[in-house]
C-alpha cells in the first residue's frame, strides 16, 4: 500500500486556506499514486482552536469544509482531521472516498495537561475504528490515543491490523521528536502493524509543531521520515505482508481476544492511480542546536506572517540576547524586514554601540541610533520633587529601559512593524527585566530559551555560517544591562552556569529547594533563586508570548497563582 502523510502548516480558523492546503496535498498524493492519504489532526480548522470551539458555527463551518473536500476524493482514500459538531463537539477524523464521507472516528484520549485543554472543549470518543481498504485492515487513532500502551494501543493489537493511521498535532520541545519516534516504533512492534504518523508543522501563537511525520513497518523499523519544520508530502510503500508474517512467526497476539468491536468498515474507493516515482527516504535528524534554531525561526516567521505584520523592530544593545534575536529574525523574515534600534544612554559603552553596528552590518538589517540621555534627563527632572531625599536606585535604572520601550513602541505604531522583546528564560524566571521597559513588545522569541542556550545557539550559528554572523566580541563579553556604571548581571544573579541548572530543576522538574540543594547546589543560591521565581510571576503574566521550547514553559505549561503564600518549599 502506498501511503502519503500530508505534513502541512495550517492556520487556526482559516478554513478556506486550510482546505486549499489539504486539496493541494491530495492532488500531489494522487500524482504519486498514493492509495491512502493522511492529514494532521484538525487539519481543516488548525490546532489548537481553543475557545473558537465554543461557537457552534465553528464546528458547522468545519463540517461544511469537510463535505466540500469529500467531493474531491474520487480516487483512493483520505483520512482528514476536522471538528465535528454533533450536539457536542468532537476532535474527529473523517474517512473520505468515492466522493463522500464514509466513516468518522472520534478521538478517545483527550490530553488535559501542559499546553493541552482538550477536556475543556471536546467530548471523548468511545469506540475503536477498523477500516477495510482494498483488503487491508487499517485502524485510526488521533495523537494522544497512541501515546499510552492501553487501552487504545492494546485494542489496536487485538484488532490484528495491517496499518495504524495516526493523525497528530504534537507540539515541539527539545528532545521530544526522538522520544516520540521511539514510542511510535514500540507501538508498531507491539501491534505487529505498520504505522503511518502524520504531524502538523508550523507556528501557532506560542506553540511550534515540528512535523517529523514518519512511517514505520510492522517490525518497528523506521522506513520514512519527513524533515522537521518544513511542509512535506511523505510517500511510503508499506509491505502489508510483513504484518501478517509477524503474527504467524511470533503468535503472541493469539492470546488476545477477538471482538466484534473490530469488525471492519468496508470502504468503497476507486483505485488510486498507479504509483509513480520512488518512495521517500528517512530524512536525517538535525542536531539539537539546529533543531532549536529551526523551531525559533519557524515561530517568529509564522507569528509575524500569520498575523499580518510587515516586519519586526527590536532594540540592539550590543548584547548577546538582542544579537541572537536579530539573527533569528533575519533568518525567519529576511534582513529587509528587520529593523534594529540602538538607544545608548550615558552608561552605554562605546563597545556596545560598535557591536550593535557590527551585528547590523553582518546581518544586513537597518540600524537607527537614537540617544536616550535627553529623554531620561527630562523624566528625572519631572520626578525630581517626588524623588527628593532618596538615593538613586533601581527606579532611575528602570527609567532608561522604559524610555527605550516607549521609543520602540512609537516606531512600531508609526510604521507597523511588530516589536520583538529580547529577554531570555533565565531573566524572565527571576524577574531580571523591566516591566513596561525591555519586556515591551508583541512577541518574545527567547522567552523559553535559557541564557546557556543563548550562548550555545550564537556559537552554533557562527559555526554553521563559517563566519561571525554574531560578533565574537558580543559572545565573549560579560553580560550587562548597562543601567548603571560598571554593571554586570553577576552583580544581581548567580553565574548562569549555576542559575540555569537551578531554574531547570525548580521550574521544569518542580523540585523543592531542599531536593535541589541535595543535588549539590548552594543552599543560599537555591533559596534566593526560588524566591525570585515566585515573586516574578506577576511580571511574566504581563509579558508578551514566546515560543515554547522546553517541556515546561511559562504560560500554558506552568500556571502558578500570582497571589500565593505557599512559597518555595
Q: Of the listed 75, 107, 482, 539, which one is catalytic?
A: 107
Instruction: Give me the count of residues in the chain.
Output: 569
Question: How do the residues of the chain divide into helix, strand and coil, expressed in percent and rounded to 5?
Answer: 40, 20, 40
Q: Order across the sheet with 366-369: list the strands.
A: 366-369, 338-342, 312-315, 418-419
| CA quadruple 439, 444, 447, 453: dihedral, nearest 10 | -120
Query: Which three-class secondary structure state does DSSP give residue 551?
Result: coil
Other CB atoms within 10 Å distance of the CB of residue 483: 19
Q: For residues 369 and 353, is the Cβ–Cβ distance under 8 A?
A: yes
Q: What's the rounded Cα separation, in Å, for the pair 321 and 334?
A: 19
Distance CA 530, CA 558 (A): 15
Number of neighbours of residue 508 by Cβ within 10 angstroms? 16
Phi-psi region of 143 (alpha: psi -120 to 50; beta: other; left: phi over 0): left
Closest CA to 3 of 266, 240, 191, 242: 240
- Residues 501, 517: Cα–Cα separation, whole Å: 11
The helices-and-strands tally (H runs, E runs) of the chain is: 18, 19
The H-assigned helical ranges of 174-319 are 176-191, 240-249, 288-306
Catalytic residue among 75, 84, 143, 504: 143
- Asked whether 36 and 26 are in contact (CB, 8 A), the reply is no
Q: Is the dihedral of CA 185, 190, 194, 198 positive or negative?
A: negative
Residue 167 contacts residue 143 (beta carbons within 8 Å): yes
Nearest Cα to Cα of residue 287 among 117, 60, 457: 457
In this structure, what C-alpha cell is assigned to residue 71?
Answer: 467531493
What letter would DSSP give residue 107? -
**Kindly report the CA angle at 266 between 263 and 269, in degrees rounded to 5?**
160
Backbone phi, psi, residue 165, to 5°: -105, 115
User: Residue 279 carries which DSSP code?
Assistant: P
Task: Judge residue 265's burial from the number of C-beta atoms within 10 Å of its C-beta, 0-12 exposed, 13-18 middle, 19 or more buried.
Answer: middle
Q: For residues 289 and 311, give the distance between their C-alpha atoms in angstroms, rounded to a whole number.
A: 25
- Is the omega angle on the peptide bond into residue 339 within 30 degrees of 0, that is, cis? no
- Residue pair 342/367 in contact (Cβ under 8 Å)? The answer is yes
Is 5 considered catalytic here? no
User: 107 an active-site residue?
Assistant: yes
Burial of 105 (0-12, 13-18, 19+ CB in 10 A): buried
Phi, psi of 104 (to 5 degrees): -135, 125
Q: Which residues is 396 bridged to in the sheet? A: none
Indicate if 539 belongs to the active site.
no
> Catalytic residues, which ones?
41, 107, 143
Amino acid at each position: 500500500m502506498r501511503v502519503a502523510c500530508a505534513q502541512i502548516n495550517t492556520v487556526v480558523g482559516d478554513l478556506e486556506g486550510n482546505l486549499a492546503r489539504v486539496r493541494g496535498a491530495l492532488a500531489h498524493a494522487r500524482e504519486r499514486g498514493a492509495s491512502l492519504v493522511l492529514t494532521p489532526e484538525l487539519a481543516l480548522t488548525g490546532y489548537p482552536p481553543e475557545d473558537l470551539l465554543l461557537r457552534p458555527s465553528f464546528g458547522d463551518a468545519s463540517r461544511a469544509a469537510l463535505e466540500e473536500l469529500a467531493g474531491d476524493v474520487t480516487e483512493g482514500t483520505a483520512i482528514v482531521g476536522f471538528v465535528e459538531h454533533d450536539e457536542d463537539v468532537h476532535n474527529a477524523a473523517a474517512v473520505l472516498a468515492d466522493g463522500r464521507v464514509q466513516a468518522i472516528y472520534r478521538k478517545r484520549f483527550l490530553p488535559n495537561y501542559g499546553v493541552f485543554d482538550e477536556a475543556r472543549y471536546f467530548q471523548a470518543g468511545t469506540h475503536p475504528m477498523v477500516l477495510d481498504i482494498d483488503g487491508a485492515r487499517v485502524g485510526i487513532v488521533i495523537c494522544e490515543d497512541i501515546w499510552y500502551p492501553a487501552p487504545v494501543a492494546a485494542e489496536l493489537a487485538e484488532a490484528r491490523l495491517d496499518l495504524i493511521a495516526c493523525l497528530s498535532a504534537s507540539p515541539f520541545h527539545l528532545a521530544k521528536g526522538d522520544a516520540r519516534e521511539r514510542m511510535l516504533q514500540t507501538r508498531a512492534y507491539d501491534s505487529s502493524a505498520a504505522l503511518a504518523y502524520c504531524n502538523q508543522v508550523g507556528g501557532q501563537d506560542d506553540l511550534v509543531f515540528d512535523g517529523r511525520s514518519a512511517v514505520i513497518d510492522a517490525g518497528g523499523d523506521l522506513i520514512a521520515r519527513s524533515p522537521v519544520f518544513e511542509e512535506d508530502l511523505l510517500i511510503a510503500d508499506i509491505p502489508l505482508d510483513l504484518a501478517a508474517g509477524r503474527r504467524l512467526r511470533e503468535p503472541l497476539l493469539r492470546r488476545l481476544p477477538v471482538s466484534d468491536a473490530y469488525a471492519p468498515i468496508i470502504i468503497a474507493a476507486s483505485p488510486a492511480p498507479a504509483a509513480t516515482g520512488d518512495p521517500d527516504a528517512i530524512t536525517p535528524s538535525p542536531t539539537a542546536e539546529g533543531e532549536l534554531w529551526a523551531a525559533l525561526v519557524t515561530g517568529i516567521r509564522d507569528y509575524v506572517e500569520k498575523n499580518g505584520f510587515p516586519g519586526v523592530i527590536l532594540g540592539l544593545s550590543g548584547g548577546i540576547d538582542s544579537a541572537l534575536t536579530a539573527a533569528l529574525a533575519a533568518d525567519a523574515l529576511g534582513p529587509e524586514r528587520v529593523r534594529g534600534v540602538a538607544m545608548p544612554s550615558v552608561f552605554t559603552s562605546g563597545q556596545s554601540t560598535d557591536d550593535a553596528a557590527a551585528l547590523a552590518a553582518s546581518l544586513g538589517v537597518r540600524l537607527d541610533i537614537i540617544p536616550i540621555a535627553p529623554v531620561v534627563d527630562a523624566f528625572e527632572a519631572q520626578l525630581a520633587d517626588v524623588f527628593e531625599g532618596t538615593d538613586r536606585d533601581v527606579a532611575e535604572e528602570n527609567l532608561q529601559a522604559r524610555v527605550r520601550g516607549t521609543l520602540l513602541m512609537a516606531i512600531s505604531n508609526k510604521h507597523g512593524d511588530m516589536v520583538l522583546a529580547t529577554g531570555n528564560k533565565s531573566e524572565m524566571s527571576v524577574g531580571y527585566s523591566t516591566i513596561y521597559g525591555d519586556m515591551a513588545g508583541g512577541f518574545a522569541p527567547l522567552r523559553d530559551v535559557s541564557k546557556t542556550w543563548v550562548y550555545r545557539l550564537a556559537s552554533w550559528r557562527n559555526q554553521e555560517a563559517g563566519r561571525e554572523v554574531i560578533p565574537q566580541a558580543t559572545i565573549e563579553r560579560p553580560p550587562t544591562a548597562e543601567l548603571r556604571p560598571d554593571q554586570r548581571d553577576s552583580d544581581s544573579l548567580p553565574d548562569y552556569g549555576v542559575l540555569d541548572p537551578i531554574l531547570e530543576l525548580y521550574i521544569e522538574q518542580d523540585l523543592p529547594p531542599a531536593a535541589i540543594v541535595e543535588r549539590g547546589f548552594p543552599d543560599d543560591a537555591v533559596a534566593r533563586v526560588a524566591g525570585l521565581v515566585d515573586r516574578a510571576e506577576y511580571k511574566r503574566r504581563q509579558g508578551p508570548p514566546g515560543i515554547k521550547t522546553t517541556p515546561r514553559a511559562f504560560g500554558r505549561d506552568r500556571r502558578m497563582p500570582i497571589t500565593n503564600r505557599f512559597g518555595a518549599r
